[in-house]
Structure 1
Amino acid sequence: MQLFFSIVTIDAAMGLAQAAAVLPGGTAKPTHILAARQTASTTLTALTVRITNKAGVDLWTRHDGTLGQGSGTMAVDASDTNIITAGHGAIFVNRHDHKVKTDNESQVEFNFGPEDGKEKEGSKPVLDVSYVAGFTYPIDCLCSGPGTGSGCSIDLWAQGNECPLPDDHLGCDNPKQGAGDGDKDPHPFFRPYLGKAYVVPGDHSGLSNNLCPSATFDCTVYGNNKGDAPKSG
């Protein structure tokens, strides 16, 4: 099975509360979704997220929230286009032979709707790359056209810092996942992403002036130095 997600369109009538409720297995709604904000005066109707696999291996992806709860394999160099018209969700990424568990993988988070319940008219698309739960693959999301996105292509496995909480799923769990908003100091393993993506709940240093007027993001999943050998068993 390849490129399971070709185009996904979300029902515009689905509200934020309803979207959060469909997250599986009691998965908490991520709170770290402030990285790229659209501030143009025109009213947008959708947030578009395109993901391309440049990891050098087939990937297993899982969509949650308003994208439903589907999963599938994305071949090398394949792309996945997602159109979000309302609600909140996330796309989790791991290697093809390690099915996503949605608890420690690299992820792209997004929201399209009233910003913090304050917007009375129009919708604000919001997107970030998050490693607050953990890291599997580097992801970089660029704004299509003028503007700023979130993430970067740095492979944390190749930076010489020891993973604090390795698991058996090709991931490195983030020990700061449950830290409060006052904690702005990431673990050294995750520090290279400080200011570029979410790595600790209290740090928003990479979020200033992250604007994307097109509300379209081109995300790339890059390779890592962790999972070269196939899964045993």
Structure 2
Amino acid sequence: MKKKSTWIASAAMAALLAFPSVVGAAEEEAAPQPEPPKPSQIRLETEGPFTSLQVGKWVYVFNDQEPIFHTKGGDQYGSLKDLFVLPFGPEQVPFIVVRHPKSGLMVFTDQWPKLNAEEAEKPDPQSEAYDSGRIFDTAQTKIVSKTSHHYAEQEGDEVVVYTANDFDDLQKGYHESIRTKGKLRGLILYDCCPFVVVETADDELAVFHAGEQGALKAGVIDL
């Protein structure tokens, strides 16, 4: 069961102090701000072994041992709306929903395994968040991923996700990956695999991915 958000400044600051490297990053990002973050700009959420912490405009995500990733830059700031976890093979992967003042509800996660491996080889590896997709406040008729390798459409009372047959040549068309009932609200990617956000008949924002015998519910988003 998902835990509700906790707006407790003291708990948030205690979490930051547990990770000196994150404190340094927070101070660096906060330097241009004339005042420390207000209590309303601090938000702490937990889901399983993961914790997300908003301090000012930025969000930091931890597992039970160390920091994993954080938002950074003009395209990733905003207010934390949810922390949710999705399965990817044997792993559990944390995602955050951040409302950007211009781009709306954005979904971020850690760099994909291949990108993380490439980053680890750099002299100064970073742990910046990866832009994984979008969620919309209202039902959509079609959502296309930023690379156009996937798209989701509303077809009658069902949502259908399509994946490119050849990522290097989109002219070769698409095949159906996921089909489930509901209203289309978002599309998320992780390691080139699609997850679709659907508003169900119970007004739940459910996340589905492809299973061996059809769409499987992978998680729930609370906004």
Tell me, yes or no, whether TM beats 0.5: no
Structure richer in strand, relative to its length = 2
* Pair member with larger Rg: 2
Q: Give the structure, 1 or 2, with the largest relative contact order (CA under 8 Å, sep 6 or more).
A: 1
So what's the TM-score if we normalise by structure 2?
Answer: 0.29
